[in-house]
Amino acid sequence: MTTKYERYRAADQPLPDSAAAWNMYGAGLENIGREGHAEMVAVPRPSADQLLVRIDSVGLCFSDLKIIKQGGQHPKLYQRDLSKAPTRLGHEVSLTIIEVGEHLRERFQPGQRYAVQPDIYQHGKSMAYGYTVPGGLIQYHLIGAEVLESDEGACLLRLDDSMGYAESALLEPWGCVMAAYTQRRRLWPKAGGVMWVIGQRGDDTAYTFSAGLEGVATLILTDAPDSVQRLADDLAARTQCRVITRNDILAQEVGAAAAALANEFTLGQGFDDIVMLDPRSAKAVGAVARWVARRGILNLVGRTPLDGLVDADVGRLHYDYIAFVGGHGPDIAASYGEARNRCELREDGCMVLIGAGGPMGQMHLQRAIEHPHGPKTIIATELSAARVENLKQRFGGLAEQHQCHLLVVNPNQAGQSLREVVMTHSQQRGADDVVVCAPLAEIMAEGAALMNESGMLILFAGVPNGTLAPLNVSDVYLGNAQFTGTSGLTIHDQALVMESAVQKTLSPGRSVAAIGGMGVALNGIEALMEGRFPGKIVIFPQLPDVPLLGLDELSQHLPSVAEKLGPDHSWTADAEIALLETAWPN
């Protein structure tokens, strides 16, 4: 005799005529659902080019709150009148295919399980699932070309059979975390691009450019040393590269000169590559850096520190993937490439995680602890006393298990500055890695000041482009410091998380802090707004009557589920099986 869980997994039960949905008709919680409740909608049948899917789990996300606040004014909704064309929250989703349209039967089969990659682009325009495309807070819905025919192909990731429903939904936020440690920056001169080389008068260094210069289409020289002028002349003689000399312009106001040159040669889009040789002025570096194009590179080559900190655009480091690279020279090309510019945490190093107590901060913390080549010391900061205690309880044992020294501190109550704490626990070297999960420029600047000269700063939280923070950019070329940031994810990032979960080097389900059924999805969103739970809230749409419960509350309400939890009340596959056995009404 089959169990409830086995029948659920088989997904071959008769379809209901109607399904519960939390459609969104405008800004504000009052416009989600109908009078505070889910509404019932007809379960549709797929056309030849559609799939009917069952939504198994939905993770609630802080980015949902921006839609609730802005309604149709949200950038991904393009001034949509939600009262006439509603959307639906829920972009962290796992689903099961129930019916397959005739034209899709060679690609998909009933019973197959997938996670959604919500960052969808159609012809270069964002059409994100859970935003532009109504998302997963519904029991059944249709998926068609809007998801299956994006610019990157189908935005569905086939799930390994070992994956549970909750952890499958969390592949999306975990994929964003994974993306922070995979190289997103372009690290070689752009083929066909525009490069601006800025020198210092009197510099007689015999510069070389051993790789990467050949493909440049336009090379602009300003006060270039004789050795670079010879390289440019040789390049022009051998290739189609256009070489232009513009000297003396930096005697003017640097920002205005850079802007004029960018408007003349890049239509105001910025230079694909900028090389600054023997830089001395922090103000000049800051002014020039503002004219690096999206995904562009600023290469600093020199041996003398700048005269101060650089006001750097931390918004663009996060959203536009601009790269600061550098080296001592004389080979300008030595600054480039992945060997020189890391994106992964330093093995056995000292890591500082600022803003560790929120759901995403906890994911960064868990990944660092569980990483087989991760840091030896982690200093996690959090201002909330309750969250400090939660971090100690949830991750203290895990850190011990992985022989990682975890120190959780409230910087306002540490009795010494955060820098003093970091120096004490890093043998006076400073942090090898600093991850900032707080969207505040002053916190980003503080984090950067904690690094050693070859440290890496990851800006995981975004601030608007144009937001400046003082950074020690001298360390980029003197010591190989890295300043990096990421926004969003790809389906490959989700696949990396799943691979790690299958290999048991990462436990995505450990991020679950609370669960609930379809009837309490709105309560879950309210709890998210209030920060009521320390980790992720997961809604199970097929379970209508499960109340919203923190995992530490399960013993009072669902004891058969609670007894299957792991250490520190952590979510497990066995707990999920027990939940479906207990609460699935079929």
466 belongs to a structural domain: no
Q: Which residues fall within 8 angstroms of residue 97, CB to CB, at 6 or more apart?
A: 11, 51, 52, 53, 54, 108, 109, 110, 111, 112, 113, 114
Dihedral sign from CA coordinates of 398, 402, 405, 406: negative
Please state, in angstroms and rounded to a whole number, the distance separating the CA atoms of residues 410 and 384. Answer: 7
Q: Are residues 159 and 260 in the same domain?
A: no
pLDDT band at 254 (very low <50, low <70, confident <90, very high): confident
Q: Are 157 and 254 found together in one domain?
A: no
Which tokens go with 266? 């890049």
CATH of the domain at 569: 3.90.180.10
Tell me, yes or no, whether 509 and 556 share the same domain.
yes
Q: How confident is the model at residue 586 (pLDDT cuts 50, 70, 90)?
A: confident
Helices marked H in 377-440 — which ranges? 385-401, 418-425
DSSP string, 337-353: STTTS--SPPTT-EEEE
Contact, 366 vs 510, CB < 8 A? yes
Residues 432 and 313 in one domain: no
User: 391-442, pLDDT tens digit by residue?
Assistant: 999 999 999 999 999 999 999 887 899 999 999 999 999 999 999 999 999 9
More confident residue, 389 or 488: 389
Asked if the structure places residue 473 within a domain, the reply is no
Whether residue 304 is contained in a domain is answered as yes
Q: Could you read off the pLDDT of 535-566 as tens digits, one per residue?
A: 999 999 999 999 999 999 999 999 999 999 99
Residues 176 and 29 in one domain: yes
Q: Which one of 274, 303, 335 terminates a domain?
A: 335
Q: Distance between CA atoms of 554 and 582, rounded to whole angstroms?
A: 12
294 has pLDDT over 90: yes
Which residues are registered as beta bridge partners of 517? 540
Measured distance CA(119)–CA(357) in Å, rounded: 25
Q: Which range marks the domain in which residue 127 is found?
A: 4-180+492-583
Whether omega for the bond prior to residue 330 falls within 30 degrees of 0, making it cis, is: yes
How high is the pLDDT of residue 1? 75
Whole-number Å distance between alpha carbons of 213 and 153:
34
**Do 314 and 358 belong to one domain?**
no
Query: What three-state secondary structure class fits 557?
Result: helix
Residues 17 and 134 in one domain: yes
The pair of structure tokens assigned to 321 is 């993937």
Each residue's pLDDT tens digit, 6-58: 999 999 999 999 999 999 999 999 999 999 999 999 999 999 999 999 999 99
520: helix, strand or coil: helix
Of 10, 26, 18, 25, nearest to 42 (Cα)? 18
CATH at 378: 3.40.50.720
Report the pLDDT value the prediction gives residue 104, as an integer from 0 to 100: 97
What pLDDT is attached to residue 488?
83
Domain boundary among 307, 335, 363: 335
Of the candidates 233, 232, 223, 222, the residue with the CA atom closest to the CA atom of residue 291: 222
pTM confidence score: 0.93
Q: Is residue 340 part of a domain?
A: no
Residues 362 and 511 in one domain: no
Above 80 in pLDDT, residue 207?
yes
Confidence check: pLDDT of 252 > 90: no
**First-last CA distance in the chain:** 15
Q: Which amino acid is at 149?
A: E
In terms of domains, do 92 and 222 share one?
no
Percentage with pLDDT > 70 across the chain? 100
485 in a domain, yes or no? no
344 found inside a domain? no
Residues 411 and 268 in one domain: no
User: What local confidence, expressed as pLDDT, does residue 108 receive?
Assistant: 97
Count of domains for the chain: 3
Residues 207 and 313 in one domain: yes
Q: Is the pLDDT of residue 251 over 80?
A: no
Q: Are residues 357 and 502 in the same domain?
A: no
Q: pLDDT grade, residue 255 (50/70/90)? A: confident
Q: Across the chain, what does the average pLDDT equal?
A: 95
